[in-house]
Structure 1
């Protein structure tokens, strides 16, 4: 290990000299308390180090020792149900060792070295294996079967393999390679700033079903896609992220609280263990990894946290799982990047952010994708990345939002006006978009109903026409509209309030399956069709609008349980009968 000494301390940035044998991105131990840091710039023998802990008390002359290794995470059984900080230190273990507050220099291993895991081999002596081959499994939780893979760069013949209970550091497999015998344990390490390799990247076509009607119907994200949720303070970004983490049909969830308030991570910690996974009936935490780097934690670790999270997510993707990663929020990550860039005295770009902001964001989001994993079974894994963006004052033209929109294919624009009207999710249907619509539309037509795309197009057309008609109403009043246009406003209102609005805190309305979404949307649009039929038959618009009983049943269809969806068909049949009755009464009156 090469040792240097500090010559300057500027907040989380430390400059040390005598580091000529160190490399950029090497992890170093700073000061007598051996604080964790990472080299981010080298000039001659001087290293600029971002320290991931509080630097109070450091001064010139204090020692700096390089480990010679990049910042890496430990990957193995024990990740699920754990809560780590931005550099993969387990917060529960830190609390047991040092109390409720982060203590400088506390050293805790990321994964438990004492716990024994039952290893079940899936290969036998004499089998040829390469990087990514699954050599055995560990039942990590009742939901997650952890697949032990050959680490990258190792290939050869199985010399010996053991079944039984082992700790993470005990040898379970011997592989005879061209460079001698390699011993494998249940754990491997991977540098966080380098994407994990795969055999082939695929074009994502299936949706990540979220149970949120406005997302699944109008702006879906593909499994293996990337999406962003920008919005001003109080518009519901965190609630949307929580809903996606709870109900998205991914097999593994990695949730990164990056620079957000501590109480929001507390909500996640309190809610997730109590939530039942709709697929397994088990606690949601049994397939979740949490990374918490809240706003009161060291700012430099915030910059590392999203890389730590996405590396863990890639590891589970390589097992063939569908993984959903939530980053809340990338704006706080970008602010940490800006602070470190300012301390390095780099030339600032837009609004003080570094010129490389866009490329760093692209590095993160491009690690999402649907892939054929390394190995002999051609298993497919998917990593979907969803990042929240918190633009100051809700200004979507600011650099972080704009740089993100150039990379991701789905934009869910949250609107403070909708939030003030208590319309949740407050996703604005007029400026949001999804570039996966065509492919996912084909999947929906094949797997849900061949009418899906037609219904979605009809509903979106009505919402856009409503926006145009509202402009006319604001200028000259509603009396200037024809009865047909007034009816369009009524139908669009039903789409907004009866279909798009969803209560995240209601036991039934919090989640809607695709078959239920289809039936609900068809019911709302059927109201429009029947109303138009009545209008053409000469029924007064007021009588159509005053069909309160049937309209109330349509509005309450969202509260019908999944196992009683046939009630929605009953309401639709009743709607047709009510309309027939209105038309018949009009015919008698005219006669």
Structure 2
């Protein structure tokens, strides 16, 4: 093979896109090193011996004539112990390690191993020599963090006889811990696997969702639930609380592993994540929440092209932990910035633009990403299952949900949490609009709630939505003729809607106890509210006016339910029950 088939030469630089010649023999999506600084890039177009390369670092100063070095590998990530608790950039460079090496400003071409080669992990064998092993089988386990057991698995596509297996002891990730004989070929196995980010990892079978992903956010869990293994989108205008909702889900969702991708958002938002999460106590383990998280930071001041890589890097890490049998939740904030990066690269390539300048393949790229979510039966023995739940924020300009990224996302995802600027301005958080949002997992989630939490959950949720929809209709009438014309029954309905909105749907993320509400407490709150509604209707039938009902101190107690501590909870609900009994003394009631 001559030198031209191994290396190339830069002939043109257009922003993050570089053209090179002498690239005969290269492959699509092959990773390359560009220029004297060794910038990381990926081949995205091949025409003869010319390649178009998407460079994931700043190309300022790169000139024609500089070398392009092939790696003969697709853009890949390293998978193994040490991922959890680490912050990477979009191309899996460990930012804290690079900070130690280069200082606050990352130098172009800087690199460091994604996994620490010096840290030792205590290995516990789970198989034995002589076993027939297949892809996905567990060879052993190491303690990756105080919250995560990391299983060392047979890589996909490999099977054979386990010729040797390391004994219990401490090893670094590059040590050979097993040797597998396949035919006449012996393959050494270390704790590190490499996987191309654009290729989904294989599974045995895709399964239907059977239970909701509990988030602790009342409006989500009850009205618009997300299934384990499901997909959701959070679109909303600037200032409506997308990032706060994403961070709340990352803090409280009942997943084993959290992958948080800051894709093109402002640096201060990612800094907020880095400051908050290490200080948060994980309710599942009592340790720091960061002990089961992987952070991928690609902020708005980082190279635009790397936004695309960051999304694929995140979903590949999620698939790796899913293959261990974990339930993974992935938050991407935001996919709009990823789409804008695709639009910029497409423009540089002079491709035929689609709607609003986005590339014609926008919908297929979004689908490729979201379709890697799901609940699956895993390869290997043991009958293990795992799941990836994907929650993507969308930032439509001006809150226009008709723009291409939002519309193409809606065709793919099953849950739509529409954030409303008007609700945000009213200080109603989460600002999820209950009339615009929807979930296609509602029936499945409702059955789960009735089986595991309370028998009349579906009835209460249906009645809640009817009250909120009827309130919206009455507001139109009030604007036309005024509230004085409403009959008492409609005034009671407005009171019901007010209690639902302010005492149940509104939730304070920065309150120690209101920030998270578990399923049992959610059901208890709903049961108390609807018991009051029944008594209020009976009081109204006996001649009590809504004005008198509004004076009850009971309504103030409802407002305290969400923020009550576990110690106060029982006492508060007992007080609510006593006050409801005292409603019998209202004029004309009962």
The TM-score normalised by the length of structure 1 is 0.98
Give how far 1:569 is off.
3.7
> Separation in 2 of the partners of 1:568 and 1:438?
31
Matched, 1:443 2:448: yes
Matched, 1:227 2:235: no
> Separation in 1 of the partners of 2:235 and 2:368?
19
Matched, 1:55 2:59: yes
> Separation in 1 of the partners of 2:18 and 2:403?
30
User: 2:74 maps to which residue?
Assistant: 70
The number of equivalent residue pairs is 585
SS in 2 for 1:335: helix
User: 1:133 maps to which residue?
Assistant: 137
- CA distances 1:504-533 after superposition (whole Å, capped 9, x unpaired): 000000000001001111212222211111
Contact 1:371–1:381 at 8 Å: present in 2 too? yes
Q: 1:14 aligns with which of 6, 15, 18?
A: 18
User: 2:410 maps to which residue?
Assistant: 405
Contact 2:351–2:359 at 8 Å: present in 1 too? yes
User: 1:43 maps to which residue?
Assistant: 47
Contact 1:519–1:568 at 8 Å: present in 2 too? no
User: 1:460 maps to which residue?
Assistant: 465
SS in 2 for 1:559: coil
User: 1:259 maps to which residue?
Assistant: 264
> Separation in 1 of the partners of 2:137 and 2:546?
67
Q: 1:329 aligns with which of 319, 324, 334?
A: 334
Contact 2:554–2:580 at 8 Å: present in 1 too? no
User: 1:171 maps to which residue?
Assistant: 176
Give how far 1:168 is off.
1.0
Which consecutive unaligned segments of at least 5 residues does structure 1 have?
none
> Separation in 2 of the partners of 1:179 and 1:326?
44
Matches within 5 A, 1:292-441: 292-441=297-446
User: 2:161 maps to which residue?
Assistant: 157
SS in 1 for 2:45: strand
SS in 2 for 1:378: coil
- CA distances 1:6-63 after superposition (whole Å, capped 9, x unpaired): 1110011000011111011000110111111000111121101011111111111111
Matches within 5 A, 1:185-204: 185-204=190-209
Contact 1:116–1:167 at 8 Å: present in 2 too? yes
Give how far 1:561 is off.
1.9
> Separation in 2 of the partners of 1:2 and 1:567?
75
> Separation in 2 of the partners of 1:262 and 1:460?
38
Give how far 1:579 is off.
1.2
Matched, 1:270 2:266: no
- CA distances 1:364-389 after superposition (whole Å, capped 9, x unpaired): 00000000111100101010000000
Contact 2:259–2:314 at 8 Å: present in 1 too? yes
Give how far 1:337 is off.
0.5
> Separation in 1 of the partners of 2:568 and 2:410?
40
Give how far 1:555 is off.
1.2
Contact 1:320–1:373 at 8 Å: present in 2 too? yes
Matched, 1:86 2:74: no
Give how far 1:562 is off.
3.3
SS in 2 for 1:531: helix
Contact 2:9–2:65 at 8 Å: present in 1 too? yes
> Separation in 2 of the partners of 1:217 and 1:237?
19
Matched, 1:143 2:147: yes
Give how far 1:316 is off.
0.3
Matched, 1:501 2:510: no
Give how far 1:564 is off.
4.7
Matched, 1:244 2:274: no
SS in 1 for 2:229: coil
Give how far 1:488 is off.
0.2
Following TM superposition, where does structure 1 have runs of at least 4 consecutive aligned residues deviating by more than 3 angstroms?
562-565
SS in 2 for 1:273: helix
SS in 2 for 1:181: strand
Task: Decide which moves more: 537-546 or 384-393.
Answer: 537-546
Which consecutive unaligned segments of at least 5 residues does structure 2 have?
none
Matches within 5 A, 1:419-568: 419-547=424-552, 549-562=553-566, 564-568=568-572
- CA distances 1:375-417 after superposition (whole Å, capped 9, x unpaired): 1001010100000000000000000000000000000000000
> Separation in 1 of the partners of 2:154 and 2:184?
16
Contact 1:122–1:137 at 8 Å: present in 2 too? yes
- CA distances 1:460-486 after superposition (whole Å, capped 9, x unpaired): 110011000111001111112111001
Task: Decide which moves more: 565-574 or 151-160.
Answer: 565-574
SS in 2 for 1:78: coil
SS in 2 for 1:497: helix
Q: 1:281 aligns with which of 274, 277, 286?
A: 286
Contact 2:557–2:576 at 8 Å: present in 1 too? no
SS in 1 for 2:513: coil
- CA distances 1:415-437 after superposition (whole Å, capped 9, x unpaired): 00000000000000000000000
Give how far 1:578 is off.
2.2
> Separation in 2 of the partners of 1:225 and 1:132?
23
Give how far 1:567 is off.
3.1
The TM-score normalised by the length of structure 2 is 0.98
Q: Aligned-residue CA RMSD in angstroms?
A: 1.1
Contact 2:262–2:270 at 8 Å: present in 1 too? yes
Give how far 1:583 is off.
4.3
SS in 2 for 1:124: coil
Contact 1:526–1:572 at 8 Å: present in 2 too? no
User: 1:2 maps to which residue?
Assistant: 6
> Separation in 1 of the partners of 2:355 and 2:24?
34
> Separation in 2 of the partners of 1:131 and 1:540?
70
